[in-house]
Amino acid sequence: MKNVVFLIQCEDRKGLVCEITSFFFNKGFNIVNCQQHTDSANSRYFMRLKLDLAGMKTTREQLEKEFADFARKNSLEWSAHYSDITRRIAILATKESHCLYDIILRWKEGEFPCEIPLIISNHPDLEYVATQFRLPFYCVPVVNEDKESQEEKVLELLSKNHIDLLVLAKYMRILSKNFVQKYSSRIINIHHAFLPAFQGANPYRKAYERGVKMIGATAHYVTADLDEGPIIEQDVERVNHENDPEELKQIGKDIERIVLARALKAQLENRIIVFQGRTVVFS
Amino acid sequence: MKNVVFLIQCEDRKGLVCEITSFFFNKGFNIVNCQQHTDSANSRYFMRLKLDLAGMKTTREQLEKEFADFARKNSLEWSAHYSDITRRIAILATKESHCLYDIILRWKEGEFPCEIPLIISNHPDLEYVATQFRLPFYCVPVVNEDKESQEEKVLELLSKNHIDLLVLAKYMRILSKNFVQKYSSRIINIHHAFLPAFQGANPYRKAYERGVKMIGATAHYVTADLDEGPIIEQDVERVNHENDPEELKQIGKDIERIVLARALKAQLENRIIVFQGRTVVFS
Amino acid sequence: MKNVVFLIQCEDRKGLVCEITSFFFNKGFNIVNCQQHTDSANSRYFMRLKLDLAGMKTTREQLEKEFADFARKNSLEWSAHYSDITRRIAILATKESHCLYDIILRWKEGEFPCEIPLIISNHPDLEYVATQFRLPFYCVPVVNEDKESQEEKVLELLSKNHIDLLVLAKYMRILSKNFVQKYSSRIINIHHAFLPAFQGANPYRKAYERGVKMIGATAHYVTADLDEGPIIEQDVERVNHENDPEELKQIGKDIERIVLARALKAQLENRIIVFQGRTVVFS
Amino acid sequence: MKNVVFLIQCEDRKGLVCEITSFFFNKGFNIVNCQQHTDSANSRYFMRLKLDLAGMKTTREQLEKEFADFARKNSLEWSAHYSDITRRIAILATKESHCLYDIILRWKEGEFPCEIPLIISNHPDLEYVATQFRLPFYCVPVVNEDKESQEEKVLELLSKNHIDLLVLAKYMRILSKNFVQKYSSRIINIHHAFLPAFQGANPYRKAYERGVKMIGATAHYVTADLDEGPIIEQDVERVNHENDPEELKQIGKDIERIVLARALKAQLENRIIVFQGRTVVFS
């Protein structure tokens, strides 16, 4: 079944659900799913609409044009996502393989509706993983501390491959402001701590030193402010005094894997809307 | 803010969300919240609509009459729940105090929008709890194994006190088919196991003997089939070889408390629809 | 069964478990339970020994004297805790009742082997809770911003009542350095956040603003540095975009209750050893 | 550091920890780790001792002979596991790849101290996984319903490859009594349900039909009674009315992976003792 998901947000006011659903109903669409959220404190309305494309009588261009008119009148921010336009994602990794493997394996098992045209790394170490699954692997190292030209090469690869979404699967480099802006709300990172605790480097060592009884991981959109992007998903695992930093790291891997996978799934299923640094993640 | 919640279910078909929301929009209602679920396997549609009563121009009687007409035409099953008609609940308990206390305390702190006109027990042991909070306590024991006349007395108390909902807070008697039918989908029980595992008596001992690594609790509607009613909420806690049955029971108390509280909250907030022995619990 | 728990820590070296257990075995004690932990990074050894007092042939004074000699030779730090010397705890609260109630109810049900000779508050609001359970309640407000004399009055109450342990059950005042030092490792606080995230005031609002997907609570020993004391126990609960700060607070109450209860239980069962700002909590 | 782990169980009595630790101390061993558990209800004592082999002055044969004498006198059941004798495990799978991949990847990352000399399947489907990691793959199908000769071929492969431990990573065949007895307490299975709920086939469908709010997985030793073997590890994940059986299955995969991995880790680290159908799993 082909479908389209509309993600909508606007100032909250009376009659929104009825007006928006009527717009599509009057055009003959079947609404497969309709989810809403009202942020009362900020008087903000969020909607996720999934429409069956089967009975569509117009072109997509015309549908979008008409909805754009409707949206303009009603001051809606919106985006439309068609199920038959498969997202093309690039995985960026460095040396650790667990998140990279996890994404590839879930993708192979059909959990992620996307294509993976390439894997990019600043190190050659993970080439073998790409080879096992016959995926293109590009090693783009930073040479002579020239971060700028490394990022340029990466951006070129992304552009040439028509990449829609970047997944930082333990990519241990900080992206520049310029880079981030080019893929705003389209870069998902996994941070190996329960943010906002233990920002920055070596979170497992910091967690050990503080003696916390649980460790966590956080998947978030990358913004110019490091570790401050909108949080998509988090989870934790219980630890105790017997776990040294090395064991915390190993326990943490399982959380990282699962948290990143859930975030990527939510993104690919078009269930996330961002507003004021926070995410609405429909279930 | 006064509001009304409509719980609706029907055969799934095209246009439902639009038609139903239009019905209310055209009568001038503001839809505060609209949640849906489609059970594709059974082609069944579920909706929870929360309407602001502020702009209401008709009587409730008239609104319900008109919606009943609309529902008949569209084969909807439905119920309406007004926020200013406070539910009256009866708590039934036996000897254990933890769930009884928990409900009273949460109610005192405003978590449960309801009245508690009375507490009923088949034993005198928990009278002191009722006394502490100045709630009426009725001890209705089973005399000479005459279960029938005990139930009759309980039913009389419920009727006289206009009780809408029964909460079995560790009430250790099995209700008769006749009793259950009188309060269909209006009796919530807490079972001290992760159903369907360990049905019947002594679940903690059974859990110990089987050597499980987690124990749980289940809140469910009471039906004629013991421990087979629709599940509303469940949770578990990790245990290990060091926990004997007595400790499992103590650990279990915390799960029982929290699971029963969540189920009661969902019920009082009109978030539950039952279909074919399963529950849809809107978040 | 009467027993004594020895909590021991020292520099790690060969033969410790054998030497220490032999010390007690040769005196005719039955070792009911023996737990150990080695912190390899710091070369530190921790032991919890539980001895049956049934077969005891000497006085406790003599036992402790002899063990003190043994400990001195082996550079052990240690403490001994007798099961028949019931700990006397004071609960300090302010206006919120949920943790206070929780401790009293668990204590009433036999979960906490202790006495509760008094409840102290800087506000009169919770007197009714104490009255319900016929526990002495002392209201010691801060008058004219004179914190010092308020603390003096509290200290006097603690001293007169032979208090061994303080539980801050949502006591919303910061204790002075002087106060804290008098009850070092004997004040347990519940912080309504997953430390080290959201230190200080209004953690639920901060959590909401950051858009975290889980909230937590932390029980810790109080030290001179606010929210920096050794962590005893933590737990979290999943939340989402639908939860406003008020709901986060309500969800948080359940975590606070359970985390504080577990920490207090660990303390009363003598399962905690502190080393370098971290806790070893034996299971 | 080379070490040996002794797993010991016996009737509980006074002085055990001291006598056993003295036995090794007097032979000059450093006890790296000593864990115990007493099952009071059954008056049973369990111990796990980890000894540094560095200072060993005798042969292993002699050590074991002397300990066997000591054990006989004291009616101990025991086993000894040397860290430099790497366990050889066989993975048995059928068509689903997720558990197979998970074990291989963790093993590659050093989580499992073992060798994996071969993968056996009753279907050819997963050959490509073995090939990716250059592991031998044997397809041993059941031909003409002749289960017996299929099992014989598997047993021959296990024997020829000196296999110590079998991991059933979603191996969808029931092993015969004869087979199971040959590898008693050496076959670990992952069952895709929270046992004892939903035994047998199609647990996710059953879970869906019962409307449970959490699903789980169970790792257990395989015994002649299907799904009745000693439970090693369990975990659960929250689900809701939106999850159809297919989604439950997908969610379940993550639990299966992690539960099987934890069980295998516990086994390879010699932390499990079985008694009367239950496991003691040291942490």
Instruction: Please report the ipTM that was assigned to this predicted complex.
Output: 0.91
State the SS3 of A192-238: CCCCCCCCCCCHHHHHHHHCCCEEEEEEEECCCCCCCCCEEEEEEEE
- Type of residue found at D45: Y
- Measured between beta carbons, the chain B residues lying within 8 angstroms of C97 are 105, 109
Distance from CA of D33 to the nearest CA of C (A): 7
Question: Which residues in chain C are contacts of A241 at CB distance < 8 A?
Answer: 37, 39, 278-281
Per-residue pLDDT, B197: 82
Nearest CA in chain A to C283: A240
Superfamily for domain range C87-281: Formyl transferase, N-terminal domain (3.40.50.170)
User: Cis ω on the peptide bond leading into residue D245 (within 30° of 0)?
Assistant: no
Residues of C in contact with A39 (CB under 8 A): 241
Residue B141 has what pLDDT?
A: 97
Query: Residue D18's pLDDT is what?
Result: 84
Which residue in chain C is spatially nearest to B130 when comparing CA positions? C132
Residue written as tokens 């431990």? D165
Q: Angle of helix A245-268 relative to helix A203-210, nearest 10 degrees?
A: 120
- Touching partners of D (3+ C-beta pairs < 8 Å): A, B, C
pLDDT of A226 higher than 80: no
Q: Which residues of D touch A240 (CB under 8 A)?
A: 283
C-alpha distance from D250 to closest chain A C-alpha (Å):
8
The total of other beta-carbon atoms located within 10 Å of residue A265's CB is 16
Reading chain B (283 residues) residue by residue, the pLDDT tens digits are: 899 999 999 999 888 888 898 899 888 888 888 899 999 889 999 999 999 898 788 899 999 999 999 999 999 999 999 999 999 999 999 999 999 999 999 999 999 999 999 999 999 999 999 999 999 999 999 999 999 999 999 999 999 999 999 999 999 999 999 999 999 999 999 998 888 888 878 888 989 999 999 999 999 999 988 788 999 999 999 999 999 999 999 999 999 999 999 999 999 999 999 999 999 999 8
Name the residue type at position B145: E
Q: Which residues of A touch B (CB under 8 A)?
A: 14-19, 21-22, 24-25, 30-36, 38, 238, 283
- pLDDT tens digits along A81-92: 999 999 999 999
Nearest-CB residue to D30 (from C14, C22, C34):
C14
Give the number of A-C residue pairs with CB atoms closer than 8 Å.
84
Q: Please give the positions of A annotated as active site.
A: 227
Q: Which residues of A touch D258 (CB under 8 A)?
A: 254
- Residue D227: the pLDDT is 80
Angle at B42 between CA B40 and CA B43, to 5 degrees: 55
Minimum distance, in Å, between the CA of residue A196 and any CA atom of chain C: 6
Q: How far is D127 from chain A (nearest CA, A)?
A: 13
Residue ranges, comma separated, of all CATH 3.40.50.170 domains in chain A are 87-281
- Chain C residues near residue A216 by CB distance under 8 angstroms: 214, 236
CA–CA distances in Å: residue B198 to residues B98, B202, B207, B214, D69: 21, 8, 7, 12, 44
- For residue A132, the chain D residue with the least C-alpha distance is D132
**How far does B255 lie from chain A, in Å, by closest CA?**
18
- pLDDT at position C15, please? 82
Cβ within 8 Å of residue D271, ≥6 positions away = D48, D281, D282, D283
Question: Would you say residue C200 has pLDDT above 90?
Answer: no
**What crossing angle do the helices spanning B16-26 and A16-26 adopt, rounded to 10°?**
130
pLDDT at B15 (0 to 100): 82
Q: Do B98 and C105 touch (CB under 8 A)?
A: yes
Q: Kindly list the residues of chain C whose beta carbon comes within 8 Å of any beta carbon in chain A.
A: 37, 39-41, 194-198, 209-214, 216, 230-236, 240-242, 244, 277-281, 283
Residues in chain C closer than 8 A to D53 (CB atoms): none
Chain B positions with Cβ closer than 8 Å to C: 97-98, 101, 105, 109, 111, 132-133, 240, 242, 250, 253-254, 258, 283
* Average pLDDT score over residue span C265-275: 97
DSSP state of C225: S
Residue C133: HSE in the Cβ half-sphere, 13 Å Cα cutoff:
22
Identify which of B54, B76, B28 has the alpha carbon closest to the alpha carbon of residue B273: B76
Spans of chain D below 70 pLDDT: none
Q: How many CB pairs under 8 A join A and B?
A: 46
| Chain position carrying tokens 């390439």 | A118
Query: Looking at residue C13, what is its pLDDT?
Result: 87
pTM of the full predicted structure?
A: 0.94
Dump pLDDT digits (tens) for A96-135: 999 999 999 999 999 999 999 999 999 999 999 999 999 9
D101, closest residue in chain A (CA to CA): A105
Q: Do A109 and D132 touch (CB under 8 A)?
A: no
Residue A273 is predicted with a pLDDT of 98
Distances (CA, A) of A206 to A191, A237, D67: 14, 16, 44
Query: Which pLDDT score is estimated for A81?
Result: 97
Type of residue found at A82: Y
Q: Which residue of D40, D214, D231 is in closest CB contact with B212?
A: D231
Reference A67, options A56, A54, A80; nearest CA is: A80
Nearest to C132 among B132, B250, B283 (CB): B132
What homologous superfamily does CATH list for A3-82?
ACT domain (3.30.70.260)
Query: Cα–Cα distance between D82 and D211 in angstroms, integer?
Result: 47
- Please answer whether residues B232 and B267 qualify as being in contact, where contact means their C-beta atoms are separated by less than 8 angstroms: yes
Please tell me the total number of residues recorded for chain D in this structure. Answer: 283
Residue C26's pLDDT is 85
Nearest CA in chain C to B101: C105
In this prediction, residue A26 has a pLDDT band, given cuts at 50, 70 and 90, of confident
pLDDT at D255: 96
What's residue C250's pLDDT? 93
**pLDDT given at position D45:** 95
- Helix segments in C183-244, DSSP class H: 203-210
CATH 3.30.70.260 range(s) for chain A read 3-82
CB–CB of D241/D212 below 8 Å? no
Query: With 90 as the cut, is the pLDDT of residue C54 above it?
Result: no
Contacts of C25 in chain D (CB under 8 A): 15, 18-19
Q: Are C18 and D32 within 8 A, CB to CB?
A: no
The three-state secondary structure class of D263 is helix
Catalytic residues of C: 227
In the complex, which subunits touch A with 3 or more CB pairs below 8 angstroms? Answer: B, C, D
Do A15 and B36 make contact, defined as CB atoms within 8 angstroms?
no
Beta strand pairing status for B114-121 and A165-168? unpaired
Q: Which chains touch C (3 or more CB pairs under 8 A)?
A: A, B, D
Average pLDDT score over chain C? 94
Percent of chain A whose pLDDT exceeds 90? 81
- As beta bridge partners, residue D80 has D6
- Minimal Cα distance from C199: which residue of A? A197
| CB–CB contacts below 8 A, B to C | 24
Crossing angle (nearest 10°) for helices B245-268 and B98-108 = 30
